[in-house]
Chains A and B, each alone.
Chain A
Amino acid sequence: MIHLEIPGKLKPLVELASAVAAGYFRPISRKYDREEHTYPKELDLLQAAFSGLQGSGGLQGAGAAASTKKTERADGEIVNGGNMSTVLGITELAWGDVGLLLTMPGQGLGNAAIAAVANEDQRRRFGDKWAAMAITEPGAGSDSAAIRTTARLEGDEWVINGEKIYVTCGERADVIVVWASVDPSRGRSAIKSFLVEQGTPGMKLERLDKKMGIRASDTAVLAFSDCRIPRANLLGSEEIASASKGFAGVMKTFDNTRPMVAGMAIGVARAALERLRELLAGAEIRPRYGGSIHAGQHAEIEVLRMEAELEAARLLTLKAAWMADNRIPNSLEASMSKAKAARVGNAITLKAVELAGALGYGEDELLEKWARDSKILDIFEGTQQIQMLIIARRLLGKRSSELR
């Protein structure tokens, strides 16, 4: 039965995440924006709280690791499960601070990959660890099949060589999921991911990048020179699939993580819009519903336009998560939600600064920070343009060789 409200079952989770965002993230938000590269030690206590919650089953995952959790259900019954609760939790936390959310211990993107493809042994060894993901290289961004990092099998060890950039939590995580080719002559099918523990000889932290936004989150450059890891640290199958099966498998992780990034964009945009409304109320501008959609002050109309856009993005994202929870293939919808939410999130945070004027542009408010933070959401986990390619190819039945 068609119904688009948050189910009561998930409300405690939303309320809790909202409380963490307001009570825990917001007070330290500006501090770690200014003190880039300083580890937010407050997060350790929060991690303790979260593991307490996960232990009690009270928090059905507010992080990456939970995204691939299977949801129990009776045959044919519609469920609202792990994917939806993850998206909702993330939205609330991102309302607090996206940068802090991205550096929550134990909730890295690598954790999503481990949860999705790790075998029993790997799950036992790495399941509790904080895992980052290293894909991008100086010469390969959106075109992740073009990476040049290699992994060579020598006896019982993989030997990794290459350079990775933009590794979120690359300094703080316990383990890095590194993408590398086991045979550069065989293209994308030879690309595998490897678990490299922090402190492994041959892996070196080159530097931390300084960024426009999400400064609480560390973004590392990692160099690999003859970095040796156990053979058993390869995620998934060693075999080079004839088609691009292996690579596609790794890319599948993104079907789960894209709605999560969409959730982040929705959270930060909602924060900006709410604050803008408060500031505008001080100027006696209070957008109202029910009358003409065209009449009123410019700012009033703009706020309602933004709200409609945000609502469209939010519902698209919930749809993608709902599909995943009910085992309906959602690659298309995952990309649609990411594309829409990320661009809307960026547009709203920027417009909020514009309409709030000097108040919005200055550091007394967080509006200018959110406008800086939101931009990355339209870039990582697949840029706006990559999402459009994915969507268009699916809609039009195009191969990647046709619609390039």
Chain B
Amino acid sequence: MAANPVLKGGLRMLSAFASSGLAERYGVEDQARELVERAAKLGVDLLARGGAKKAPRDPAAPKVRFDLTPTESQELLRSTMRRFGEEVLREAADEADVAMRPPAEVIEMAGEIGLVELAVPEALGGAAEERSPITTALLAEELGYGDMALGAALLAPVSVAHLALDHGTEAQQKDLLGRLTAEPFVPASAALLEPRPLFDPRKPATKAKKIGGEYRLRGEKSMVILGQSARFFLVSAMVDKDARLFVVERDRDGLTIEPEPTMGLRGANLCRLRLRDVEVPASAMLGEAESFDHQRVVDLGRVAWGALAVGQARATLDYVKTYCNERVAFGEPITNRQAVAFMIADIAIELEGMRLLVWRAAARAERGKSFTREAHLARVQCAAMSMKIGTDGVQLLGGSGFIREHPLERWYRHGRGVAVMEGGLSA
């Protein structure tokens, strides 16, 4: 925080006065001290009053405090999702990893729980009390605790609903959210990432050219979640100098979709989208030029991926705690050794740091404050630490960490994805 210039100047003078020894020499130390005491009191009063003047408090507004307690309804959702993550996603993760797509019954169950409805406000046919990135982050952590790939798969259509809510026109919201909440449930997915090193999500190489009343899209999108089952995609493309999102139906001419095998996150059914002069109506461009905020799309994507990564980190901590406490070597549990125990302590520390960074970004987004910086920092930290935790998790299990019988090798492969993935999700 910048120091108050008046106060700072006064303090500098005071410091110079004290350094000079003048007070001492003239025997006025006591008076000087008294003066300082009075001035300090005055300074604080002024500061307090100045602060009050700047921001007259709305008596109806809730007091804004530093707080880490979820609301009751968030807590309820969290415990429900915790069980779903543990019992359904964790169990299905290996099969999904092999099949390179989520099992149909997992998607069905998510439909039954009404994951998408939870994101859509009541007025638009859903069940959400409000649009809350914090709630999404809490939910994503529990999904990630089950499995990051399946968590991403389940979060992808929810994210499309978020994007429609945040940016879509009234007509688009009605159309897109209606399709997402219709029976039977068919997912949708956002496509930002492109197959290029040092990809900057703000500047996709995919281009949208206006030709008459239509836009013609050309480019390539990488690692699009649920590519084979999504009914439509939100594809980012440059329109002149601005990145925008376009609703692209899967059966459009010129669009090809192919599975894209990857190191990890295979259960999310990642696909490559090739757009060769795909034509969409002008109404397919999400939102309006004045209000569309592509940076927000990027930033909330970072929050969502970070939250999934927090969940996986917590899963790793729980797993290695149990395994290493039970594993005996040289006549005692290996956790009696500092080399092992300290590695686990580090996982706990970094995990908590990741979570707080993600929460801060989400909470700022929720209150309508700028959060590009916070989302960036959360992404930087989650990218680095989820891989550190991933590799330490395998190391702690030794050979067992390397074989598929335990989930650590999968989490290691997922973990690298956190640094790679951009977009596709939105908190």
Q: Cβ of A385: which chain B residues have Cβ within 8 Å of it?
A: 338, 342
> CA separation between A8 and B66, bound complex, in Å?
10
The contact of B363 among A2, A22, A31, A395, by CB within 8 Å, is: A2
Would you call B336 and A398 a contact (CB within 8 A)? yes
Inter-chain contact B4/A3, CB cutoff 8 Å? no
B306-352 with Cβ < 8 A to chain A: 317, 321, 324-325, 332-333, 335-336, 338, 341-342, 344-346, 348-350, 352
Is there an interface contact between A396 and B41, defined as CB atoms closer than 8 Å?
no
* Chain A 193-239 residues near chain B, CB threshold 8 A: none
Q: How long is the Cα–Cα vector from A13 to B3 in the complex, in angstroms?
A: 11
A18-B1, A80-B66 known; A27 and B335 CB under 8 Å? no
Give the interface SS of chain A, mostly helix, strand, loop or mixed.
Answer: helix
How far apart are A130's CB and chain B's nearest CB, in angstroms? 16
Specify the chain B residue showing the minimal Cβ separation from A402: B336
Residues of the B chain whose Cβ atoms lie less than 8 Å from the Cβ of A340: 349, 353
List the A side residues contacting B44 at CB < 8 Å. 12, 16, 53, 56, 58-59
Please classify how large the interface on chain A is, using the bins under 10, 10 to 19, 20 to 34, 35 or more. Answer: 35 or more
Known A2-B362, A55-B41, A92-B1; further 9 A-B contacts with Cβ < 8 A: A3-B66, A4-B359, A7-B65, A15-B7, A53-B44, A292-B198, A295-B198, A312-B354, A336-B349
Identity of the chain A residue whose Cβ is nearest the Cβ of B347 in the assembled complex: A395
Contact A78 B65 (CB under 8 A): yes
Given contacts A4-B360, A12-B51, A307-B377, contact A21 B3 (CB under 8 A): yes
**How would residues 4 to 26 of chain B score, 1 for a CB under 8 Å from any chain A CB and 0 otherwise?**
10011111101111110101100
Distance A84 CA – B68 CA, assembled complex (angstroms): 14
A112 CA / B332 CA spacing, docked (Å): 40
Please tell me if the beta carbons of A3 and B64 are within 8 angstroms of each other in the complex: yes
Q: How many residues of B sit at the interface, in one of the four size bands?
A: 35 or more
Q: How far is the CA of A27 from the CA of B9 in the complex (A)?
A: 12
Contact B69 A49 (CB under 8 A): no
Binds A, one of B111-119, B221-229, B264-272, B380-388: B380-388
- Bound-state CA distance A345–B403 (Å) is 38
Give the distance to chain B from A24, nearest Cβ to Cβ, in Å.
Answer: 5
Q: In the bound complex, what is the Cα–Cα distance between A67 and B398 (angstroms)?
A: 44
Distance in angstroms between the alpha carbons of A391 and B201 in the assembled complex? 39
* B397 interfacial contact with A, CB 8 Å: no
Is A293 in contact with B2, judged by CB distance below 8 angstroms? no
Which residues does chain A contribute within 8 Å of B419, judged by CB atoms?
Answer: 293-294
Could you give, for residues 292-309 of chain B, a 1 whenever the CB lies within 8 Å of some chain A CB and a 0 otherwise?
000100110000000000
Q: Is B37 an interface residue (CB 8 A)?
A: yes
Q: How far is the CA of A403 from the CA of B325 in the complex (A)?
A: 11
A-B contact pairs, 26 of them (CB 8 A): A2-B70, A3-B65, A4-B66, A7-B66, A12-B48, A16-B44, A22-B11, A24-B11, A27-B12, A42-B15, A45-B17, A53-B44, A290-B295, A292-B201, A293-B383, A294-B419, A308-B380, A312-B353, A312-B356, A389-B338, A391-B348, A392-B344, A395-B321, A396-B344, A398-B335, A403-B341
Closest to A42 in B: B18
Assess whether B414 is interfacial by the CB under 8 Å rule. Answer: no
Q: In whole angstroms, what is the CA distance A92 to B1 when docked?
A: 9
Q: Kindly state the separation between the CA atoms of A395 and B64 in the bound complex, as whole angstroms.
A: 32
A1/B15 contact (C-beta < 8 A), A58-B44, A78-B67, A391-B345 known = no
Q: Is A23 an interface residue (CB 8 A)?
A: yes
Q: Is the CB of B336 within 8 A of A391?
A: no
Q: Is A18 within 8 A of B2, CB to CB?
A: yes
Binds B, one of A137-145, A169-177, A313-321, A351-359: A313-321
Given known pairs A51-B37, A56-B41, A58-B44, the reply for A7 and B64 (CB within 8 Å) is yes
Residues in chain B near residue A294, CB distance under 8 A: 197-198, 419
Q: Are B36 and A6 in contact (CB under 8 A)?
A: no
Tell whether, in the assembled complex, residue A304 and residue B1 are in contact, meaning their CB atoms are under 8 Å apart.
Answer: no
Chain A residues with CB under 8 A of B83: none
B296 to chain A, nearest CB (A): 10
A-chain residues with CB within 8 Å of residue B34 when the two chains form the complex? 48
Tell me if B40 is interfacial: C-beta within 8 Å of chain A: yes
The majority secondary structure among interface residues of chain B is: helix
Alpha-carbon distance between A131 and B341 when the two chains are bound, in angstroms:
36
Q: How far apart sit A45 and B66, CA to CA, in the bound complex (Å)?
A: 33
Residues of B within 8 A of A31 (CB): 19
B residues less than 8 Å from A318 (CB atoms): 66
Task: Please list the 7 inter-chain residue pairs (A to B) with the smallest Cβ-Cβ separation, ordered nearest first.
Answer: A23-B11, A312-B353, A58-B44, A52-B37, A315-B356, A392-B341, A49-B40
Bound-state Cα–Cα, A72 to B15, Å? 35
Chain B residues whose C-beta falls within 8 Å of the C-beta of A307 in the assembled complex = 377, 380
Measured CB to CB, the closest approach of chain A to B375, in angstroms, equals 8
Complex: A16 Cα to B64 Cα, angstroms: 21
Q: A20 in the interface, Cβ–Cβ < 8 Å?
A: yes
Q: Is A311 an interface residue (CB 8 A)?
A: yes
CA distance A398 to B10 in the complex (A): 54
For the complex, what is the distance from the CA of A122 to the CA of B319, rounded to whole Å? Answer: 49
When the two chains form their complex, are residues A305 and B341 in contact, meaning their CB atoms are under 8 A apart?
A: no
The verdict on A279 contacting chain B, using a C-beta distance below 8 Å, is no
Residue numbers in B under 8 Å from A158 (CB-CB): none
B8 touches A56 (CB 8 A): no
A48 x B36 contact (CB < 8 A): yes
Contact of B68 among A27, A49, A319 (CB under 8 A): A319
CA distance A289 to B7 in the complex (A): 32
Asked if B364 is an interface residue, CB under 8 A from chain A, the answer is: yes
Q: How far is the CB of A52 from chain B (nearest CB, A)?
A: 3
Q: How far is the CA of A340 from the CA of B347 in the complex (A)?
A: 11
Which residues from chain A contact B209 at a C-beta distance below 8 Å? none
User: B158 contacts the other chain (Cβ, under 8 Å)?
Assistant: no
- Residue B32 at the chain A interface, CB threshold 8 Å: yes
The answer to whether A313 and B3 touch across the interface, beta carbons within 8 angstroms, is no
A146, chain B: closest CB distance, angstroms:
19
Q: How far is the CB of A240 from chain B (nearest CB, A)?
A: 30
Contacts of A59 in B (CB 8 A): 44
Q: Determine how close the nearest CB of chain B comes to the CB of A57; give it in whole angstroms.
A: 9
A154 within 8 A of B: no
**Is A315 a contact of B69 with CB atoms below 8 Å?**
no
Cβ proximity bits B39-51 to A, threshold 8 Å, 1 near / 0 not: 1110111011001
> Is A50 part of the contact surface with B, judged by Cβ < 8 Å?
yes
A392 to B47, CA, bound (A): 44
Q: How far is the CA of A49 from the CA of B19 in the complex (A)?
A: 16
Chain A contacts with B in 53-94, Cβ cutoff 8 A: 53, 55-56, 58-59, 78-80, 84, 92
User: Nearest chain A CB to B17's CB is how many angstroms away?
Assistant: 8
| A290 near B299: Cβ-Cβ < 8 Å | yes
- Which A residues touch B404, using CB under 8 A? none
The answer, yes or no, to whether A11 is at the interface (CB within 8 Å) is: yes
Question: A319 contacts which chain B residues (CB < 8 A)?
Answer: 68, 352, 356
Contact (Cβ within 8 A) A289 B376: yes
For B346, the closest partner residue in chain A by CB is A388
Given A1-B67, A336-B349, A20-B376 contact (CB < 8 Å): no
Whether B202 lies near A49 (C-beta < 8 A) is: no
A370 interface residue (CB < 8 Å to B) = no
Q: Known contacts being A3-B66, A23-B8, A315-B353, is A308 close to B38, with CB within 8 Å?
A: no
- Closest CB-CB distance, B14 to chain A, in whole Å? 6
A291 adjacent to chain B (CB < 8 Å): yes
A7, closest chain B residue (CB) = B65
- Bound complex: CA A294 to CA B421 (Å): 12
